[in-house]
A and B are shown apart, each in its own frame.
Chain A
């Protein structure tokens, strides 16, 4: 198992009197090589969940295990941080060097990787995210999508087994979003990297193997995206949504059209409408 959470609770202490459980008694297993999409409204606990995965936060109770290593085990924490790469929301906060290849080399350099090996890794990582031609460029003038792909390359150079994208597409334009998503899927497919993609965009969850919906620190739904989107009423109640096309099918159904069920994308919506019209 790539990721195992056993009865994990994480509490923020406000003061002596108040505390909030951001994650409540959560148990979960993620198989190696899975592409997981994780959604939930602001404050549902998903970012806390992400930070628990590589020991940035330690559980108040319960245990988080990455490939069998517990984040509570001080001897294993560096191994865990190597295994779980994180890319965050703001593309401008994740660059440290003024030249692209130096930025990507930062991680392996700090791990004491051999010079030759670093060179290989930087090349590999940059080509994986489609940025090799920019290796001598400065990251500061790049588009948001390019910066996030560069951030992913920086993580890849550490050779992680799990890639966590914590709302990494939130600040990007549609083009940047699809670039990042494409790279994440390729890494999952071609290199077997387990991806945990945290997002507010429901349509980004469609191609995931598994969709986990968090609400109030717990798992509200966990299944194939298609199956989860059938629960649109409940999803609305917990301040989420379904893909636009699904909402369209539901709206037409309410007027009296026989839309069937399970429409999640444009192709299926158009197909159904062609049959009806």
Chain B
């Protein structure tokens, strides 16, 4: 079991007038292979929670088991934090603010180097990680991270984490502040990482429509408690309660609820845009005796079908069919620099 949390509680500034409870008796099990979404409004405790999983905050009460490590309030035995942080990769909000090295390759190498890996292994991992996030290794390795665009910088920051080959990845608001295209790229990257890098992924996001794109399970924090922990398709039976907590529900669920209020019931279990398209087309066929293809509907903003391949895979594909679009972000050339870098 990757992570088991028992009776975890945490209070900020305990014993002072500013005392604030952040977590109260949290029990949660994160299983291998989970694609877990965490939601909750600002101040609900979710950030405090994930900082525990990464060993940034020591439990005040309760315990956390992470792979074979155990975090408890006791001072001894000391926990090997290096081992913890190499198995749980944490991508913070706006991770690009944390880039510091003068080249992309050096920045990505920082983590694996600190794990004490031999230099050839470090180099190999750096190359792999950079390509995994969809950047062209040869084009970016010697560039200053600050010359890249916002979305590219964020991908470099994520590469720095996956170069440590964590068994589990936690991403806090991974798409915040990006334009729609940059968001889509990151979402596709996360899906790709799930199958190719770390089998267990936890994502915290305010955008519920983003979470429902990939999560198979959603945990809801409210007022320092976990109030719901359900399979993604089940959670929105509690739409009304979620909205009362000030949380958004998926747009497809909103549409289904409004339609139901007007006498058109498309059924339960509709959460994503694709679900809605399918249900609407099925109902349309029923009413109009037509046979439109329910499965033909796609809700794609952009075509990313081959965006996340390694150079080798891409070359193979290119040889197979020269007409197809290249997957790697080719917008980086040594001669051009994005607008962001000059500020």
Contacts and interface: CB of A to CB of B under 8 A. Distances in A.
Given A174-B248, A255-B292, A269-B255, A42 B149 contact: yes
Contacts of A12: 339, 342
B33 interface: no
B262 interface: yes
Interface stretch (A127-135, A153-161, A218-226, A236-244): A236-244
A175 B208 CA distance: 13
A170 B273 contact: no
Interface string B124-163: 0000000000000000000000000111000000000000
Contact of B181 (A239, A270, A277): A239
Contacts of B180: 41, 200, 202, 239-241
A144 B181 CA distance: 25
B316 interface: no
B297 A254 contact: yes
Contact of A240 (B181, B254, B273, B290): B181
Contacts of A175: 41-42, 246
Contacts of A167: 177
A51 to B, nearest CB: 9
B168 to A, nearest CB: 25
| Residue from the set A22, A45, A239 with the largest chain B CB neighbour count within 10 Å | A239
B177 A89 contact: yes
Contacts of B343: 47
Nearest to B283: A277
Interface stretch (B53-61, B77-85, B274-282): B274-282
Interface in B250-270: 251, 254-255, 258-259, 262, 264, 266
Contacts of B293: 255
A106 to B, nearest CB: 24
A41 B259 CA distance: 34
Contacts of B258: 266, 270
B337 A277 contact: no
B251 A266 contact: yes
B275 to A, nearest CB: 11
Interface string A225-258: 0000000000010011100110110011011110
Interface in B312-342: 335-340, 342
Contacts of A236: 301-302
Interface string A132-145: 00000000000110
B281 A252 contact: yes
Nearest to B335: A18
Nearest to A199: B179
B298 interface: yes
Given A252-B297, A274-B262, A277-B280, A144 B42 contact: yes
Given A42-B179, A174-B248, 7 more contacts: A22-B342, A41-B179, A42-B338, A176-B42, A239-B179, A247-B299, A252-B281
Closest 10 A/B residue pairs (Cβ): A239-B181, A12-B342, A241-B180, A41-B179, A43-B339, A42-B150, A173-B206, A270-B258, A256-B292, A170-B177
